[in-house]
Amino acid sequence: MSTHSLLIVGVTLLALGAVAPVTWPALAVVGLLILTVAAYRVRSRTRGMFAGSLVLVATGSATIVGLSLLGGVPAGPSWWLLPVVVLHLVGGVLGALALVRLYRELARTQDRLRLARPLMIVGTVGLVIGLFPQMLPWGVALMALAAHVLGGRRRVLLTWALGVSAVGGMMIMVNYWLAMAGVGRFGSEPGAGLLVAAPYYLGWVLGIVGTVLLYRDAAAAGRVRTVR
């Protein structure tokens, strides 16, 4: 399998694993493993970061499996799940940083449009799924990465979209966990849930706008390359 194919499969599995890290813990692990192999194949400076991310996420996933074997993963907030959340969060952030650095390295020597297209396809699917806030803004993240690979003005818009949607997503998750813990939500008056979700959807809409513009830029770049 070529390095380009490894990147496509690895990014797709990592994105799917980010949607439900407790339900599908193995997907993120396999995705990071494939990305680590790709990084070692091209002798990237990010291979150590990928390896560290793989160890952290694999440890968290093994903990989930162990809890399941001992009687099931606890529902709702639980101190047993706190180490798992920390491991997945730190490992996921490290893996995301490694992925950005890897693509920046590859963009210096490879066809940028060929690198960005798979990210745009998977990111578009993520944007559709992202209509439901519990799925997290990974679609916006992949579109932002594709914009950085291609370069141009859309990077700023999609980076802002990612930041706003990520903050909104965290607010929604905290709100949900507080409700599960029985300590209330961010406000109990009518419309409070919509207020909490507003930043997420603002980032999601910005991501949609940035995606449309990015596809237009990619189509224009493809036409120019064909003419040449």
117 and 225 part of one domain: yes
121 and 69 part of one domain: no
Contact indicator for 25, 61 with CB cutoff of 8 Å: yes
Q: Residue 38, class by beta-carbon neighbours within 10 Å (0-12 exposed, 13-18 middle, 19+ buried)?
A: buried
Res 177: pLDDT: 67
For the chain, give the mean pLDDT: 81
Res 23: pLDDT: 63
106 and 117 part of one domain: no
The yes-or-no verdict on residue 39 having pLDDT over 90 is yes
Domain count, the chain: 2
**Alpha helices (H) in the chain, listed in sequence order:** 3-19, 25-41, 47-69, 82-107, 112-129, 138-150, 154-180, 192-227
Of 110, 125, 143, which one is at a domain's C-terminal end?
A: 110
Contact indicator for 15, 126 with CB cutoff of 8 Å: yes
Q: Which residue has the higher pLDDT, 170 or 213?
A: 213
119 and 106 part of one domain: no
User: 52-81: per-residue pLDDT in tens?
Assistant: 999 998 888 887 777 667 665 555 555 566
Res 51: pLDDT: 94
Read off the pLDDT of each residue in 122-140 and give the average, rounded to a whole number: 81
User: 98-114: per-residue pLDDT in tens?
Assistant: 999 999 999 888 888 88
State the residue range of the domain holding 157: 112-228
88 and 167 part of one domain: no
167 and 189 part of one domain: yes
Res 92: pLDDT: 83
What's phi and psi for 111, nearest 5 deg?
A: -65, 115
26 and 121 part of one domain: no
Read off the pLDDT of each residue in 159-185 and give the average, rounded to a whole number: 75
The yes-or-no verdict on residue 179 having pLDDT over 70 is no
222 and 125 part of one domain: yes
105 and 129 part of one domain: no
Read off the pLDDT of each residue in 110-125 and give the average, rounded to a whole number: 89
117 and 222 part of one domain: yes
Read off the pLDDT of each residue in 160-168 and give the average, rounded to a whole number: 89
Of 110, 144, 178, which one is at a domain's C-terminal end?
A: 110
Q: Which residue has the higher pLDDT, 148 or 80?
A: 148
Res 151: pLDDT: 83
Res 81: pLDDT: 65
Q: Which helix (H) or strand (E) holds 71?
A: none
Between 92-101, 124-133, 142-151, the lowest mean confidence (pLDDT) is in 124-133
116 and 228 part of one domain: yes
Q: Which residue has the higher pLDDT, 184 or 85?
A: 85
Read off the pLDDT of each residue in 23-44 and give the average, rounded to a whole number: 87
Q: Give every CB contact of residue 53 below 8 A, 6+ residues apart in sequence.
A: 32, 91, 92, 94, 95, 98
Of 50, 82, 110, which one is at a domain's C-terminal end?
A: 110
51 and 97 part of one domain: yes
